[in-house]
Chains A and B, each alone.
Chain A
Amino acid sequence: MKAKTKRLLTLSSLMIIFVIGCIIVFYNLRGNLVFFYSPTELLEKKNINSQKIRLGGMVKKESVIKEMIVENNSKIQKITFVVTDFQNEIEVNYKGILPDLFKEEQGVVVEGIFKNNSFDAISVLAKHDENYMPPELNDIKLEKVKN
C-alpha cells in the first residue's frame, strides 16, 4: 500500500470513529436533558406527561405543610408547598428532608414529574449559597420587579 493511501485510510477511519462518537454523545445528551419551566410555562405545556422536568419559582408564603404519612410500615414526612411565579401556582408534593436553604418566600428548584396538575418532586435541589439564584429564577425575579 502506498503511504498516501494508508494515510487516507487512517484519517478516514479516525473521522468515522469521531463522527460515531459525536452521534453517541449527542444522542446521550438529548436523552438526559432536563427542561426547566416556570409555573406559567408548565401550565401552558400540554404534553409533558411522565417526563422528568424541573420547576422553578418562589415558595409561596405560608404554603408549606408538613405531615406524617405511613408507608411500608414506616413513618415518613410528606411535604406540600406551592411554587409561584406571581402569575400562576403549582402545588408540589415531596417526601423526605428539605435542603437547609429551603425557605418560604425564597427561590426553589424542584425536579420531578408533573401529572394531573400537581408536581411530584423527586428532589428539591440544594444550593451552595444562600445568595445563589438559578438564572431562571433571576428572570422571574426581574419580571416581578418590572411588573
Chain B
Amino acid sequence: MIAELGIYFLILTLIFSSFGFSQPIFSIFNKKIIFFSQERLSTLIFIFTFLSFFCLTYSFTISDFSLKVVTNNSNTQLPLIYKITGVWGNHEGSILLWLLVMTFFGFLFSIQEINNKEIKTKTLYIQNSLIFLISLFIILTSNPFQRSFPPEIEGSDLNPLLQDPGLIIHPPLLYLGYVGFSIVYSISLAVLLFKINSNDFVKVLKPWVFASWTFLTLGIGLGSWWAYYELGWGGFWFWDPVENASLLPWLTASALLHTIIISEKRKLLLRWTLLLSIITFTLSLLGTFLVRSGVLISVHAFANDPSRGLFILLLLLLVVGTGLFFYVKSENFFPKRNQIHLISKEGAISLNNIFMLTLSFTILLGTIYPLFSSIIFNTKISVGAPFFNSILAPITLPLVIGMIFGPFLKWGNDDLINLVSRLKVLLFIFLFSALLIWYLNYRGPVLSIIFFIFSGLIITSSLFELTNFISLKPKIKFKKVPMKNISQLIAHIGIALLIIGATGTSVLKKEKIQFQDPNQVIPISKFEVKFMGVKNIEGPNYISEMGEFQIFKNGRFLKSLYPEKRFYNSSDQVTTEAAIYSTIIGDLYIAIGDKNLVDKDKSWTTRIWFNPFTIWIWIGILFLSFGGLISLIKSVRKK
C-alpha cells in the first residue's frame, strides 16, 4: 500500500513537472493561459517527491520484502540507521534521492528573492523540465517501488562496505553538490535560451555556484575519507573511474568559481561563465550516471539493461546539446569586449581556467579511453594510476604558481616589474622559506620537495596578503579584511594543505606486510607497533576478529589500536576495518589479514602503513569548504 502511494506521488511529480515545458509552449499561442505559477509548481513537486522518498524510506524501515530494492539491499538484522541509508545504497533509491535533491533546489530557488522576475520564471521552466526528465527516467527504467512476487522472507543485506557512518552522509552531500549545478545550468540556459538581456544574472548565479561547489567538495572529501578507512588499502585516491567522475565537475566548477568573479567585477567573460555552467552540469550528470549505470565500466552494461543506458545517453545528449546549441546561437548577444591582458588578475584567472579545463579533459580522456579502445580497437585495457599522476603533477605546478602570485595582481592591467617591486619583501620570505623546507626534507624524493616548497609558498603568500590590511605608519593599525579576501585565503591555504597531505600520503608512505607473532614489535617510521593477539567479538549483524596493537614511540606507550576483520552472515562477506592512529605528522594505519595456517604458529598477517601528513588532506578539504561557505554567505547577503 505504502509502495503504491510512493509510485503515485512519483507520477504526480512527473505530471506536474511537465508544466515546466508545456507552459512556455502554450504561452507562445496564448499568453493568457497560465496553469500554475512556476514558483507554486516547484513547491508542489518538491512535496510530492519528498512524500515519495518518504514512502521508500518507510518501506526500508519496516523491511517490506515485497519490494525488490528492499530485498536486495536490506535485511531484518540490519541496524535501523543502515536500513535508512540503504535507501540510497542502490541504483533506484539513489536516483530517487537525486530527484529529491533536484526538486529541493528548485524549491529553494523558487522562494529566493530575486528582483528580476523574468530570470526566475524562466529558470524554473528549465529546472522543472529537467525534473520531468529525471522522474520519467525513474518511472520507466529505475522504479524503486517494483514488487517482487512472491515476497521474500529475508533480504539479502546491504553491502557491508556500505554499512558505515561515512556512507550516511556521503551520497546526500555529493548529490547536493552534483544536483546543485542543475540550478546553475537552468539559470544559464534560461539566459541563453530566452535571451534575457541583463547583466545581473551573474548575481543570481553566484550563490548557487558557491553552494554546489562547497557541497561537492565536502562530498568528494567524505568519499575519499570513507575509502581511506573502510577499504583497508591505505590510500585515499585510487583514480578509479567512479572517483574521477566526481572530480571532473569539481574541476570545472572550480574554474567557474574563479571566472564568475571576473564576470561580476568586470562584466567580462559572461558567455564563458555560461558555458562553464553548462559543462559543469553535464559532467555532473555524466558522473552520476557513469557511477550508477556502469556505462563506463562496461560497454555491456547497455546489453544488460539497454533501456537504462540508452535513456541516460539521450538525456545527456539533450542536456549538453541544448546548452551548446543556444550557447553558439547567442554569439552576437553579448557585447564583445576582449580587454583581457595577460598580466592582470583577469589574465591570471583566465590562465587558471585553461589549466583547470586541461586537467579535467585529460582526466576525462584517461577515464573513458578504455571505453573507446574496447569499441574501436576491440582491446581490453585499463589506464593506470601512473597516467593520472604524471599529468597531475605538471598541470598542478602552474596552477600553484598562479595561486601564489595571482592574488597580488591588479585588475585591468598590471606589469611584472611593478609586481616584483611590490612583492620585494615577499620574494625574500619565499627564498627563505623555500630553503628552510628544502633543508628539512632534502633527503626525500624530488617530487615531494617541490610540492612541499610550493605549498609552503602558497601559505606564506596567503598570509602575506593579510599584511596589506595592516598599516604601519603613522600608527600600527589593522584594517578590516574584506570577506572576499578571507574566503579566497582560506580556500587557497586549504589547497596547500591538501597538496601537502596528498604528496606525503602518496610519495612518502611506508608499508610493511608480514606475519606478526604476538608480542612481536615492528618498527615503522618513528613508531614501534606491538601485536597483542586477536580475539573474537560479536556485533549486531556480524562476527569479528579483532586484533590488538600497542603503539609506542621511543619506548613510551601511546595508544592501543583495534583493527578488525568482520564477517557478515547474511551476505557471506568479509570486510576489513582498519585502525588508524592520526597525528599531525602522519597516520599509523593497521589492518589485519589471515591467521597463519602453520600449526602452533600464532602469528597473523598484518599490514602496517605510515602515511605522512594524511590528516592535512581532510583539514585542507575542511578549509576549502569553509572558504566556499563564507563566499556563499557573502553572496546571499548581498541581495
Given A100-B573, A126-B231, residue A138 in contact with residue B300 (CB < 8 A): yes
Contact indicator B297/A77 (Cβ below 8 Å): no
A29 within 8 Å of B by Cβ? Answer: yes
Contact indicator B300/A75 (Cβ below 8 Å): no
Interface centre among A32, A68, A96, A129 (most CB of B within 10 A): A32
Closest to A129 in B: B159
A52 to B382, CA, bound (A): 11
A68 to B146, CA, bound (A): 50
Given A29-B366, A74-B514, residue A36 in contact with residue B576 (CB < 8 A): no
Q: Which residues of B contact A67 (CB under 8 A)?
A: 597-598
Contact indicator A75/B514 (Cβ below 8 Å): yes
Partner of A66, one of B298, B381, B594: B594
A52 to B603, CA, bound (A): 32
Closest to A135 in B: B298
Interface centre among A35, A52, A97, A98 (most CB of B within 10 A): A97
Q: How far is the CB of A4 from chain B (nearest CB, A)?
A: 14
A63 to B515, CA, bound (A): 22
Contact indicator B576/A21 (Cβ below 8 Å): no
Q: How extensive is the interface on chain B, given as a class?
A: 35 or more
A143 within 8 Å of B by Cβ? Answer: no
Q: How far is the CB of A38 from chain B (nearest CB, A)?
A: 9
Q: Which residues of A contact B575 (CB under 8 A)?
A: 100
Mask for A49-61, Cβ within 8 A of B = 1, else 0? Answer: 0001010000000
Task: Tell me which of B9-17, B383-391, B483-491, B615-623 binds A.
Answer: B383-391
Partner of A28, one of B391, B591, B593: B391
Question: How many contacts A-B (CB < 8 Å)?
Answer: 103
Mask for B12-26, Cβ within 8 A of A = 1, else 0? Answer: 000000000000000
Given A25-B362, A130-B573, residue A68 in contact with residue B598 (CB < 8 A): yes
Q: Which residues of A contact B365 (CB under 8 A)?
A: 25, 29
Q: Which residues of A contact B200 (CB under 8 A)?
A: none
Mask for A66-82, Cβ within 8 A of B = 1, else 0? Answer: 11100000111100000
Contact indicator B594/A77 (Cβ below 8 Å): yes
A34 within 8 Å of B by Cβ? Answer: yes
A77 to B607, CA, bound (A): 11
Partner of A68, one of B301, B384, B515: B515
> Quick one: which of B369-419 are within 8 Å of A by CB?
369, 374, 379-384, 386-387, 390-391
Partner of A75, one of B161, B298, B603: B603
A128 within 8 Å of B by Cβ? Answer: yes
Interface of A is mostly: mixed
Contact indicator B232/A100 (Cβ below 8 Å): yes
Interface of B is mostly: mixed
A136 within 8 Å of B by Cβ? Answer: yes
Contact indicator A135/B300 (Cβ below 8 Å): yes
Q: Which residues of B contact A36 (CB under 8 A)?
A: 380-382
A29 to B382, CA, bound (A): 10
Mask for A25-42, Cβ within 8 A of B = 1, else 0? Answer: 100110111111100000
Given A32-B386, A34-B384, A130-B571, residue A138 in contact with residue B298 (CB < 8 A): yes
Contact indicator A97/B513 (Cβ below 8 Å): yes
Given A66-B597, A76-B513, residue A135 in contact with residue B571 (CB < 8 A): no
Given A76-B515, A134-B297, residue A32 in contact with residue B573 (CB < 8 A): no
Closest to B242 in A: A128
Mask for A1-44, Cβ within 8 A of B = 1, else 0? Answer: 00000000000000000000100010011011111110000000
A139 within 8 Å of B by Cβ? Answer: yes
Closest to A128 in B: B161
Contact indicator B384/A32 (Cβ below 8 Å): yes
Contact indicator A29/B605 (Cβ below 8 Å): no
Q: How far is the CB of B357 from chain A (nearest CB, A)?
A: 12
15 cross-chain CB contacts under 8 A: A29-B369, A29-B387, A32-B386, A35-B380, A37-B380, A67-B598, A76-B605, A77-B515, A97-B605, A98-B594, A101-B573, A126-B233, A132-B297, A135-B299, A135-B374
Q: Considering the complex of A and B, which 4 residue pairs feature the smallest CB-CB distances, nearest first?
A: A135-B298, A32-B387, A97-B593, A75-B515
